[in-house]
Structure 1
Amino acid sequence: MNPAEVAVLAALHPDNTLTAAQIQLSSTLTGWRIRNALAQLESRGLIIPSHPRGRWRITDRGRIAFTTKGSRFG
């Protein structure tokens, strides 16, 4: 997991449902890095799209990954 992915998980943890723009504001990463991290996290089942369209939320698997691996990025 890279720092951008950890930043996305941190923004969504514990149970936030946010748009990519909201995640970008909370993480200070570029839009490209956020979109790339969202795609990678979704492909691994750590986040899922939510309704209304364009919003994301963390899965139980994502919470576990953030708790165990996120601490490496402080």
Structure 2
Amino acid sequence: MDRNTRNSAIAAAIILFGFGLVAFYMPTLMLAVGESSPVVGGIMAVLFVAAFFGVFWLRGRSRRDRED
């Protein structure tokens, strides 16, 4: 495993751990926010899923730009 591959694996593990931790508490957060507004609770869940894919999309773009 070379340096770039190791750094990519470490970054992916940190990102996945962070999102996993937020996903673990997401039902509690959604219920708390949903008490005041169910729509905001739903929007929060959609933004969480979009952020998960967005982080990896941005990382891929960043890596692709560095390779050119």
Return the TM-score normalized by structure 2. Answer: 0.29
Rg (Cα) greater in structure: 2
Return the TM-score normalized by structure 1. Answer: 0.27
- Greater helix percent: which structure? 2
